[in-house]
Homo-oligomer: A and B are copies of this chain.
Amino acid sequence: MPTTPAPTARPKRQGRRPGTSGSRQVILDAAQARFAQEGYAGATIRKIAADAGVDASLVMQFFGSKDELFGAVMSITLSTLSRFSEAFEGPEHSLGERVTRAFLQVWDGDPKDSEPLLAMLRSAISNEQASSQLREFIQARLTEAIAPQLPHLQDTATRAGIASSMLIGLVVGRRIVKVPSLVSEDTESLVRYIAPAVQAILTGGHDA
């Protein structure tokens, strides 16, 4: 009977411990910023590595491939998205305002919150992973969050999908295309313009 412990029991390994330098997090931050700024196709491993002050091969060693690195950034995105749901509860007559404000406020806050979403938006055009994630966010997450606020309607998926797409379009116009009349307007002013429209989509009658 050997004295060496079983492989599964108490590894108690010796040697250097993983993740002690913090470079992994620095790379992740740089990747998040690059993906947000240039999208999946535009961002390169070499530029991300340069931003992090690290060799490109180290990025590969940590994350395996560009796709897996992007996947790591996207998993951060998911946690950011989950914070939307909480903001939607309240009286139905002001649902449009709450949804609109929750949507717009994310993009005016900490870049560390908006960057993952920008990365997903910009990459949705060139990367299937980002595209399907954005699709699932609009279709499932947002619908699940909004539908309970409208228990008497049957077409909540359609209404939520339309409202979400239009709000995302607003972000595209304001943050990516940079339409002057949208950039110059502050969040609360935009909410006053948009909230009634979102309210009409979510709760308005659907006349034939």
A residues with a Cβ closer than 8 A to B are 38-39, 41-42, 122, 124-126, 131, 134-135, 138-139, 143, 157-162, 164-174, 176-182, 185, 190, 192-194, 196-198, 200-201, 204, 206-208
Q: How many copies does the complex hold?
A: 2
Q: List 20 A-B contacts (CB under 8 A).
A: A39-B125, A41-B42, A42-B126, A125-B176, A138-B179, A139-B181, A157-B181, A158-B181, A159-B193, A162-B182, A162-B193, A162-B194, A165-B170, A166-B194, A168-B169, A169-B173, A192-B208, A193-B201, A197-B197, A197-B200
Which residues of chain B are near A138, meaning CB under 8 Å? 173, 177, 179
B192 touches A201 (CB 8 A): no
Ranked 3 nearest A-B pairs via Cβ: A169-B169, A165-B173, A166-B166
